[in-house]
Amino acid sequence: MLVTTAKATHAQTRRHNNRLVLQTVYDQSPLSRADIARATDLTATTVSTVVGELLEEGLVQELGAVSTERGKPPTLISLNKDARHILALDLSRKVFQGSILNLRGEILHRQYSPLQNKNGKDALAVVHKLLRDLCQATTTPLLGIGIGAPGIIDPNNSVIRQAANLGWYNLELGELLTQEYGHNVQVVNDTQAILLAENLFGTYKNSSDMVVIRIGNGIGAAIMCNGQLLHGNGSGVGEIGHVVVVDGGERCTCGNDGCLETIASSRAVIQQAKALAALHPGSALNQLTQDGDPITIETVVEAFRLGDPVVEPLVTRLGYHLGNSIAHLVSVVGTPRILLCGGLTELGKPLFDTIRFETRRRCLTARLTEPEIGIVTLTTNLSDLVVMGAAATLLTNELGLFW
Amino acid sequence: MLVTTAKATHAQTRRHNNRLVLQTVYDQSPLSRADIARATDLTATTVSTVVGELLEEGLVQELGAVSTERGKPPTLISLNKDARHILALDLSRKVFQGSILNLRGEILHRQYSPLQNKNGKDALAVVHKLLRDLCQATTTPLLGIGIGAPGIIDPNNSVIRQAANLGWYNLELGELLTQEYGHNVQVVNDTQAILLAENLFGTYKNSSDMVVIRIGNGIGAAIMCNGQLLHGNGSGVGEIGHVVVVDGGERCTCGNDGCLETIASSRAVIQQAKALAALHPGSALNQLTQDGDPITIETVVEAFRLGDPVVEPLVTRLGYHLGNSIAHLVSVVGTPRILLCGGLTELGKPLFDTIRFETRRRCLTARLTEPEIGIVTLTTNLSDLVVMGAAATLLTNELGLFW
């Protein structure tokens, strides 16, 4: 168990009060100094001092006074959401996204750079190009740089332990970028970034327990318990896609056979759909790709919507295996809420019903906890979610918000 | 994410400093006031005040002065481990154990009361009898009562949500016992209690990430991540025994079919051994039970040690299924250490080797994290472990230690 060994000094108290006031303004602004004092239980003098410091830093601003029935009208304080901007990158898709965000996590600017199957140093060059372009696109002082990256990340040290698709192993990305750009850099796993975005800006703001599962070419879970994101310092927390669920199954990218990803990832579903299309010439899968287009997740979703009987068992199998893995996950962390994301979620209610059925059927904890199993709430644009979450890590680490 | 909304007041600072000094004395005593000041970074005046208060409460004591080369010899301070005693019960076995422990978690007294298949109010009467006997057996002021109970517990409210074997559902045991005995009561799940005992008093003292899996008639996991015990407020965290691992398998006590417990619990293993003994008259299982004794876990372990070929596949199957469930668990929480306990662990190295092999084989995270999979370290007497862990929750909640 963690033993607190730090001394509770005046400096700590001040930092704590500072955070408390900023968080209060962040959550409830506009509000007067008296409102802040009421909300925080701090004395008027302390609030006045802290607000003075925050005004000086430009993080909050004074709005006009509100008229009251009598007495001097109080001046309202609000967050100056554009006092600092954040550069954030999503490196989890084939086209990297770079964005500029404000302190509310609002995306002010997006640009893209296709990876074109590059890896290693070449992939890193794409990162640099995006960051240089973003630096040129803003004149606002920066809070820092947030990176959402695929694979196994040590977020404490901003090291990418393993991102197979990018050919990055033990890449000290944080230190590298800090040296190059002179800003604070936070690197976080892409699925964990999505969870942070949902947890800080989404419908389930400030939930202390939730899980996000991203189903793309990989399958990974981000897990928050007791208000803490499990990250395991690069130990592979949430790598549920790489557990063998079919003994002697197909070869996985991780080198193993029969992992969940060999059955339930986008890549696996497309492969299964191709095999089915070849066996069933009359399938909607073939009608939808008559122009020689390849079968994509969108094709599968559309064929399923059209009621193609060939696709139906594929969706059932998908739900069965996802439900099974989620049952194991729920039995371990007993979470009340699981949000899925990725193109396959477009299969909609029938897929979710199968997942829910299997999860409940296979797991006592799920019957007790009755976890909500749904879809992410903010947007289905995953790159936007990743940059929002990556930006959020800066808000936490640099401003002490949300912690 | 948890947002700190409390004010950092002087009272908080004092409480924090108090805990800090007590924890330092707990971990490092004997030591002088100057040693404490060095270890905590607190001023000599503050240390003096806090030590004064702790002396008054009797929690610490002054030892003789140590001789130094020159100057006034400093007085040494140490924990007064018998300043308070703790009553703790283990309700997870067929014979309830009641114990008296000191502030070091040392067991000073044990007594037992067989449950004799009682449940509901009758089982509760056994608890009362044990507690009354323990109260009579001690004259030391009590810190409180700790209860380690089977099933799904809400430790924040000390409510037993579901303990099927005892027939207790939503039993507000904490409130009930507080009213009856006038002491603070903490109720904790038995496996979580074992984890706390290992984490506070065992070889892996102060690990921030570890898992304990108890394999008895039930199978449950206690999980600590980032220094926090996952408890989920009664949501069924760690109920890995009740996940279906064999579709259409045998009926489980939870009403479902094919749960891990139907294959890998003590009860299931005994059942399998009985079936094998009936099929193989020459089996050591039969030779060991010639006197008409029933087959027990001890029989199975002994037959396995004797090299009985009938028992071998049973152990392999056990290791296979435990390894599979542990693989799922590791993929979720990526833990570096898993300690097993229960009679079946006596099957020793061959069982553990199979579990380790399956866990690694089935799970990328396990290959990255290489979790240690071993046996609990303090004692194989599980009731002792449970009462130690239950007592530890009092040390945390009443004295602010270990947090």
From B156's Cα to the closest Cα of chain A, the distance in A is: 12
**Mean local confidence (pLDDT), A346-370:** 94
Beta carbons of B242 and A199 less than 8 Å apart: no
B364: closest chain A residue by CA: A242
Mutate to test the interface with B, among A242, A247, A317, A331 (most CBs of B within 10 A): A331
What's the pLDDT score for residue B9? 64
What's the pLDDT score for residue A66? 67
> pLDDT band at residue B7, thresholds of 50, 70 and 90?
low
pLDDT in tens, A6-41: 455 677 778 888 999 999 999 998 999 999 999 988
> pLDDT band at residue A401, thresholds of 50, 70 and 90?
confident
CA neighbor of A99 nearest in space, from A394, A390, A398: A390
d(CA A212, CA B70): 64
Question: In percent, how much of chain A has pLDDT > 90?
Answer: 78
A362: closest chain B residue by CA: B244
Pairing of strands A75-79, A337-341: unpaired
Token pair listed for A25: 């303004």
- Say if residues A249 and A233 touch (Cβ distance below 8 Å): no
Beta carbons of B403 and A4 less than 8 Å apart: yes
From B284's Cα to the closest Cα of chain A, the distance in A is: 32
**Mean local confidence (pLDDT), B195-212:** 90
Q: Where is pLDDT greater, at A339 or A293?
A: A339
Q: What is the average pLDDT value for chain B, to the nearest integer?
A: 92
> pLDDT band at residue A403, thresholds of 50, 70 and 90?
low
Beta carbons of A4 and B19 less than 8 Å apart: yes
Beta carbons of B230 and A254 less than 8 Å apart: no
The beta-carbon neighbor of A364 closest among B40, B254, B332 is B254
Beta carbons of A208 and B256 less than 8 Å apart: no
d(CA B141, CA B137): 12
A396: closest chain B residue by CA: B1
From B377's Cα to the closest Cα of chain A, the distance in A is: 17
CB atoms within 10 A of CB A9: 12
Question: In percent, how much of chain B has pLDDT > 90?
Answer: 78
What's the pLDDT score for residue B67? 67
> pLDDT band at residue A2, thresholds of 50, 70 and 90?
very low
pLDDT in tens, A78-136: 999 999 999 999 999 999 999 999 999 999 999 999 999 999 999 999 999 999 999 99
From B30's Cα to the closest Cα of chain A, the distance in A is: 18
What's the pLDDT score for residue B11? 75
CA neighbor of A208 nearest in space, from B189, B230, B336: B230
The beta-carbon neighbor of B331 closest among A200, A229, A239 is A239
d(CA A46, CA A54): 12
ipTM value for the complex: 0.88
Mutate to test the interface with B, among A5, A226, A320, A332 (most CBs of B within 10 A): A332
Can you give the pTM of this predicted structure? 0.90
Size of interface A-B (CB pairs under 8 A): 224
**Mean local confidence (pLDDT), A224-253:** 90
Mutate to test the interface with A, among B225, B245, B254, B358 (most CBs of A within 10 A): B225
> pLDDT band at residue A5, thresholds of 50, 70 and 90?
very low
> pLDDT band at residue B205, thresholds of 50, 70 and 90?
confident
H-helix or E-strand containing B324? helix B312-333
Q: Does the pLDDT at position B8 exceed 60?
A: no
Burial code (b: 16+ CB inside 10 Å, e: under 16) for A90-124 equals bbbbeebbbbbbbbebebeebeebebeeeeeeebb
A227: closest chain B residue by CA: B1
pLDDT in tens, B70-92: 777 789 999 999 999 999 999 99
Q: Where is pLDDT greater, at B124 or A403?
A: B124
Q: How far apart are the first and last CA of chain B?
A: 19
> pLDDT band at residue A145, thresholds of 50, 70 and 90?
very high
Q: Where is pLDDT greater, at B11 or B201?
A: B201
- At how many degrees (to 10) do helices B33-40 and B10-28 cross? 120
Phi, psi of A105 (to 5 degrees): 75, 15
Tokens 């995953």 appear where? Answer: A382
pLDDT in tens, B127-176: 999 999 999 999 999 999 999 999 999 988 999 998 988 999 999 999 99
What's the pLDDT score for residue A231? 83
H-helix or E-strand containing B138? none
Beta carbons of A225 and B232 less than 8 Å apart: yes
Q: Does the pLDDT at position B24 exceed 70?
A: yes
What's the pLDDT score for residue A240? 96
> pLDDT band at residue B5, thresholds of 50, 70 and 90?
very low
